[in-house]
Amino acid sequence: MSETDNHASRYAVGIDLGTTHCVLSYVELDSEQDPAPHHVLPIAQLTSPGSVDEKPQLPSFIYQAHEAELAEGDVALPWNTYPDTIVGTMARELGSKTPIRLVSSAKSWLCHGGVDRHASFLPLNSPEEVAKVSPIEATFQYLLHLRNAWDHRFPDAALVDQDVTITVPASFDPAARDLTAEAAQRIGFKHLTLLEEPQAAVYSWLESCADSWRNQVSIGDVILVVDIGGGTTDLSLVAVTEDEGNLNLNRVAVGEHILLGGDNMDLALAYQVNAKLAQEGKTLAPWQIVAITHSCRDAKEVLLTDPDVHSVPIVVPSRGSKMLGSTLRTELTKDEVMNSLVDGFFPHVGIHDHPAQQARGALKQMGLPYAQDPAILRHLAAFLCRQQAAANELLGQNEGEFIKPTAILFNGGVLKAPMLAERVMTVINNWLNEAGAEQAKQLAGTDLDLAVAKGAAYYGSVRQGKGVRIRGGIASAYYVGIESAMPAIPGMAPPIQALCVAPFGMEEGSAAKGPNQEFGLIVGEPVRFRFFGSTTRRDDQAGTLLDYWEPGELEELPEIQANLPVEGRQPGEVVPVELASRVTEVGTLCLEAIPSDGGTKWQVELDVRAG
Amino acid sequence: MNIDLTAMPATIDLLHAGLAAIALVFFILMLVKGGSKTPAPTEAQPEEPATVAVPEAHLTKQLKTANPDAALQLLSLLQQEARFIDFVQEELTGFSDAEVGAAARVVHEGGQKVLKEYFCLEAVRDEQEESRITLPDGFDATTVRLTGNVVGHAPFTGTLVHRGWKASEVKLPKLAEGHDAHIVAAAEVEL
């Protein structure tokens, strides 16, 4: 770290940079209380034109206002009278009526390899005159707002000086992590770490149990973390092992990136209500569907929580000042919610019931790759089967067809509904029953909405040596594709080999370099490589060359690019290089091209700009 | 002479009255000017009605004027979340109870949201309504109002008719300087 450091951080700060909203939690590092009390930063933000309020959540939205839209002073914030960007509640509210100016889901775009993530294209498909931002710029703006809100509250302890942990989905690919870190580094954080969200949830659980966690799990346990947020579903497995008499936690596997969450459920209900109204001969305008979606979210929570409520009225007021006679009214019943949510998203499925494989290559069309199968439990079944051998190394050979979790930790607002949580438990326990295994127990004690931010803040103090640390390293092995030199056969793609450049489980701050495997790179010309990741090949070392792999074993990621500058060489010259990898302290993967003749090394870009 | 004697005090009175009136006008002008410079809506400081201090000089406590900004802000929040003004301003005759009920749900839901978000409300008395309670000597007359057969001395024993409400906390959003709070709901034009 730099010499200005002196480790002046007073707080460990956790930032949950969510798809739909951000939360900032913090603990004092040298607190005299043990455990140090947690705080959630009240984030000052515009709630309506000219009105500023503090809320624990910052909705992850940006509104690109038209210059005639808002009066002077309507966007003033406590720290800036004329901010350039409108972020938060007011952005979401204005955007619900003018969607062409609303930037949303930037986080999902950040992990979408089919687009140039540095390009300014959000809001998507909006008219030309609307100013556009890139997913990374939007992420930067959310962080900037948090920084300003923090600095306004703590003028003596700037956020950039604190020990900051930002959470990312466990399923984020290296490029998406890199881009998140890039946005954060533009803010100027001096002590930054990235942490996987399901791990943050586990840290939050560890903290809430204090020392009693050792009584709740024992050696050989496999904890399954199911994190269903607003926009994504994130899965992880943590194995419990022993080392010199101490219990250790090891994150052994993470799931695929599944764009499926609570928002999909609210939309599903809204369309169901819409269909019901259509049967009554009432057609709804788009704004009414938005309003119904909001009402459905609230109604869903009541219906899934309170067993005595059998229906909740849904009302949509007119837009004009006349309300009577023009207010739409209908009902959402418990049966409807059970049918479309519980059975639609959480159906009773078998362990071999997996979602249909999505056809790749459909990324040319601009749009987010939402999960096609809404049944979250099918995705879960696929994950457990796929990771059948995840804990073999630590816990011994698993003879079954799927890895059997012994404890379940839930996270994310969706699972606050007891009926959904119960359904997930029931289905998992059915799988375990059929396989002759013991029932899994549910680990309780975390706040499903705030666990990620809190766990991230707690992680800051764990890194200072207080409390148990989850081991993990990178959750994938990474490969560079090498096209074999063989004569072209019409109608057949040239066979490709995969060279492992980063082995599974590489820890922060470590590096890997395989045996001599040289590439010829052309100076002054960008060279692209195909790039693959595997969450199941755990034993490949750096330098392993694969000729063959099982279908689905390697997942193709966006291409990577090496761009050798001309400096000191002839343009067009071919330079032999070797590829090496390291995992930075921040937690991002870094690939480097090292010339065999010992010259300066170059960074290989994980996020390739379009062109 | 007689005329002079009676006329003199009359003119002086008139003169004094005129001077007083002019002074008052200047005073008000000054206040209005000063007031417009620092509307500071965030600090809801009541203006001292100093202009009328002379006739009320004998009062020990002065009446304060409520700041209209906070009231307008609350009205705006109620309109925004609960469509409060729309609902109350409408004529109910000619609509069925079902239609009124549908609209009332909007007002109720939104109104509840506003109360929850911006106020901490709690009951003044924790006892069950319709139960008998005793008020000791020196009870706070602003929190408990006596009604009915109010005679004798404390302690008073009576029936708790209403538990009362106390706003233990008010957290209205801050308003930007220069924000016109009189526009409680902007007109909306869809392009």
Assess B183–A contact: CB distance below 8 Å, yes or no. no
Query: Cα A389 to the chain's mean position, in Å?
Result: 24
Confidence of residue A243 (pLDDT cuts 50, 70, 90): confident
Q: For residues A90 and B119, what is the distance between their CA atoms, to the nearest angstrom?
A: 21
Q: Which of A321, A322, A328, A332 to mutate to test the interface with B (most CBs of B within 10 A)?
A: A321
Q: Is A609 or B37 the better-scoring residue by pLDDT? A: A609
Q: Is A302 on the interface with B (CB under 8 A)?
A: no
Query: Is residue B128 in a domain?
Result: yes
B107 is a domain residue: yes
Q: What is the pLDDT of residues A467-495, one digit of tens each?
A: 788 988 888 899 988 876 666 666 666 67
For the segment B55-83, what is each residue's pLDDT rounded down to a tens digit? 555 556 678 888 888 899 999 999 998 99
Q: Could B174 and A329 be called an inter-chain contact, meaning their C-beta atoms sit closer than 8 Å?
A: no
- Asked whether residue B99 is domain-assigned, the answer is yes
User: Is residue B95 assigned to a domain?
Assistant: yes
Q: What ipTM was estimated for this complex?
A: 0.70
Q: Closest CB to A52: pick one of B85, B86, B173.
A: B173
- What does pLDDT average to over chain A? 86
Q: Is B52 among the domain residues?
A: no
Residue B54 lies in a domain: no
* Cα nearest neighbour of A326 on chain B: B99
Domains contained in chain B, number: 1
- Which residues of chain B make contact with A324, given a CB cutoff of 8 A? 87, 90, 92, 95, 99-100, 103
% of chain A with per-residue pLDDT over 70: 94
Whether the CB-CB separation of B123 and B165 falls below 8 Å is answered with yes
Residue A405: what pLDDT? 95
A302 contacts A309 by C-beta, under 8 angstroms = yes
- Chain B residues with CB under 8 Å of A71 CB are 180
Q: Which range has highest mean pLDDT (A150-159, A227-236, A441-450)?
A: A150-159
Looking only at the bridges linking them, the beta strands covering B156-159 and A39-40 are unpaired
Beta carbons of A460 and A36 less than 8 angstroms apart: no
B99 at A interface, C-beta within 8 A: yes
| Contact status of A152 with chain B (Cβ, < 8 Å) | no
Q: Which domain holds residue B87?
A: 11-37+66-170
| Helix residue ranges, H only, A60-196 | 89-97, 106-110, 135-153, 174-187
DSSP string, A261-298: -HHHHHHHHHHHHHHHHHHTT----HHHHHHHHHHHHH
Give yes or no for B92 touching A (CB within 8 A).
yes
Helices (DSSP H) in A339-386: which residue ranges?
A: 343-345, 376-386
Which of B76, B90, B176 is facing A323, going by the closest CB pair? Answer: B90
- Asked if residue B143 is part of any domain, the answer here is yes
Q: Over the stretch A483-534, which tens digit does the pLDDT of each residue have?
A: 766 666 666 666 788 889 899 988 888 888 877 677 777 777 787 888 899 9
B72 within some domain = yes
pTM assigned to the model: 0.82
Taking a C-beta distance cutoff of 8 angstroms, is the pair A237, A223 a contact?
yes
Considering only CB atoms, which chain B residues are within 8 Å of A323?
83, 86-87, 90, 103, 106
Interface contact flag, A324 B92, Cβ < 8 Å: yes
Which residue type, as a one-letter code, is found at position B120?
Answer: C
Banded pLDDT at A407 (limits 50, 70, 90):
very high
